[in-house]
Amino acid sequence: MKNLFYLSLVLLGITSCSVDHEEKQTNDALSVFNLSVVNDPVTQSFGPAGYVTVYNDAETLYVKFVANQGHKLINSRLDIVANPADFLDTNGGNLPPGKMGSFENQGGVSEYIYEFPLSDFPESCIYIAPWAIFTAGGPDTQHYAGDILGGNDHHELWWYFKYGECALDDEVVVCDSAYMLSNPETTLNSYYHEKSNVNWGWYQYYDTAVFGSSEVFEIWAGAGLNDLDKGFQIGTVTVSVDANGIVTAIPTWFYTSISNDIHVYVGETLPVKRPAPGKFVNSGDTNKDGKFYIIFHTKSCWATL
């Protein structure tokens, strides 16, 4: 007996900042500058390690770094500018942490809050680049947070985001192809006997999947030739098999992208001819013997300058 498989795809939408205006301004401080009170905090992710939240109370701008459960914040850096061109990046368009303005060595805490007078920011829109080091008991990990991509190559990527009344006309949207990284690495090129420069991507084969189990895989973008040094990780996908043999694939994104066009293949065998990612056609069923193939592909897009 064969069971229908079910692909559960959870997409994250873009996070936008909402600025409320009152016709009658009663706070004298707000009449001096244009960065109005934002009732809802703006939050960006440090991936699996934590997140940063920005908010204000009409007098003070707060930037709060928070470690996720099981992680600790070691230290953090922060740049806030009126224009992205004001970031003290290198000639390559990269933003080394050592070039960032505000710095605190927290030494292993759950959260830390930077505070700045709102009067320091006369602009209606500011750009925030946060960076942090976290630990979860093993090696320390470094992360940027944001939904706008900085940097000119995949080796020195950094992220930042807007806060306030911000326009979109200074940005462009870029897209990149991404695949779930198999473990161990099994490339589609090798399976279909293709040249390494023709295409790239991975597939995962389950020989004896345990019903009721799940496994987390990395999602990598821009890794042409299946070379991770050319790409960067944009998230994870959790592949689960329930007690009835139903397969689910649920992605978690490290960054708030504008869109994620997802294509997933699950089947007892791979197609005879390699299909284009947008033309994955699932047979609709898998055996309850714990053996199946899965390919997870996404075309992810985000804002950049």
Domain count, the chain: 2
Same domain for 289 and 184: yes
- Answer with the one of 132, 165, 198 that is the final residue of a domain: 165
Q: The domain spanning residue 51 has which CATH number?
A: 2.60.40
> pTM of the predicted model, to two decimals?
0.56
Same domain for 235 and 157: no
Same domain for 128 and 209: no
- In terms of pLDDT, which residue wins out, 261 or 111? 111
Q: Which pLDDT does position 147 carry in this prediction? A: 82
Same domain for 205 and 276: yes
Whether residue 131 is predicted with pLDDT greater than 60 in this model: the reply is: yes
Whether residue 12 is predicted with pLDDT greater than 60 in this model: the reply is: no
What is the residue-wise DSSP string for the chain?
A: -EEE------PPPPP-------SS---GGGGT-S----SSPEEEE-TTSEEEEEEE-SSEEEEEEEEPTT-EEEEEEEEEESSGGGS---TTS---GGG-SEEEEEEEESEEEEEEEGGG--SSEEEEEEEEEEESSSS-EEEE--SEEESSSGGG-EEEEEEES--STT-EEEEEEEEEPPSS--BHHHHTT--TTT---B-EEESSPPTTEEEEEEEEES-GGG-GGG-EEEEEEEEEE-TT--EEEEEEESS--SEEEEEEEEESS--SSPPPGGG----SEEETTS-EEEEEEEEEEEEE-
Is residue 244 one of the residues assigned to a domain?
yes
Is residue 299 one of the residues assigned to a domain?
yes
pLDDT band per the 50, 70, 90 thresholds, residue 78: very high
Same domain for 152 and 89: yes
Is residue 184 one of the residues assigned to a domain?
yes
Same domain for 141 and 258: no
| Interval 179-222: pLDDT, tens | 999 999 999 989 988 876 668 899 999 887 778 788 999 999 88
Whether residue 92 is predicted with pLDDT greater than 70 in this model: the reply is: no
Q: Which pLDDT does position 86 carry in this prediction? A: 81
Same domain for 189 and 107: no
Same domain for 36 and 7: no
| Interval 55-70: pLDDT, tens | 998 889 999 999 999 9
Same domain for 198 and 99: no
Same domain for 225 and 140: no
Same domain for 195 and 161: no
Is residue 16 one of the residues assigned to a domain?
no
Looking at the chain, the whole-number percentage of residues with pLDDT higher than 70 is: 74
- Answer with the one of 130, 165, 200 that is the final residue of a domain: 165
Residue 143's domain spans which residues?
Answer: 28-165
Is residue 21 one of the residues assigned to a domain?
no
* Weakest-pLDDT range from 47-51, 105-109, 291-295: 105-109
Is residue 105 one of the residues assigned to a domain?
yes
* Weakest-pLDDT range from 144-158, 198-212, 229-243: 144-158
Is residue 183 one of the residues assigned to a domain?
yes
Same domain for 208 and 81: no
Whether residue 276 is predicted with pLDDT greater than 50 in this model: the reply is: yes
| Mean of all residue pLDDT scores within the chain | 77
Whether residue 4 is predicted with pLDDT greater than 60 in this model: the reply is: no
Q: Which pLDDT does position 93 carry in this prediction? A: 65
- Answer with the one of 165, 196, 219 that is the final residue of a domain: 165
